[in-house]
Chains A and B, each alone.
Chain A
């Protein structure tokens, strides 16, 4: 079984620029999550999708972050404009159903904002 695919692995941008991350979950997984992991901290949930609908985006900074999962499969997370404090690893995870099965994580995208 192929795992959760994320790209790019690394990204360096200047503050106020825009950036996008891509995630392809495990085939058949209906639920997709984006987590933000700042250095020295545990992951924090940004947004949860069930198929192509948003289940929970309460911790997503909506003034600058957006995410979509248009066809209920892969997803993109965008930051516009980026701030220095957005430097983090962005992890995508998926599960079979709405939280009834464990998460499978991708290797993440490491973002550095200078």
Chain B
């Protein structure tokens, strides 16, 4: 069965500092992996996804993530945090191979950015 573990429910960084949000997954099929961002009182917005091919994927707003099969990880990074990055971030894995719809989400990591 598929599952996702996000390490750290709350991460705080200073503006301009590196952002690192951790995600480990378990999947019985070749995984499709996703990072979504949720701003207060809004729905989820896709940041980036890994399906097949290049293991380093780039997303919107300067975020990127690397799929590491040996470590079963898909950590999200951004070199320099901006105040507008403050939000909750969710890692997700597809339930069925080849699908982007039926997803298992992690519990989320709330990112705070200090001026």
Contact = CB atoms under 8 A, between A and B. Distances in A.
B17 interface: no
Interface in B13-64: 34, 41-46, 49
Chain B residues touching A, range: 20 to 34
Given A102-B46, A105-B45, A95 B101 contact: yes
Interface in A7-55: 31, 33, 40-45, 48
Contacts of B100: 95, 99-103
A107 B90 contact: no
Decide if the interface of chain A is mainly helix, strand, loop or mixed. Answer: loop
A34 B72 CA distance: 28
A98 interface: yes
Contacts of B102: 33, 45, 48, 56, 99
Contact of B103 (A45, A98, A107): A45
Say what secondary structure dominates the interface of chain B: loop
A18 B107 CA distance: 28
Contacts of A42: 4, 90, 92, 105-108
Given A91-B44, A107-B41, A40 B107 contact: yes
B105 A43 contact: yes
Contacts of B79: none
Interface of A: 4, 31, 33, 40-45, 48, 56, 91, 93, 95, 98-103, 105-108
Interchain residue pairs A-B with the least CB separation, the first 3: A42-B105, A105-B43, A99-B99
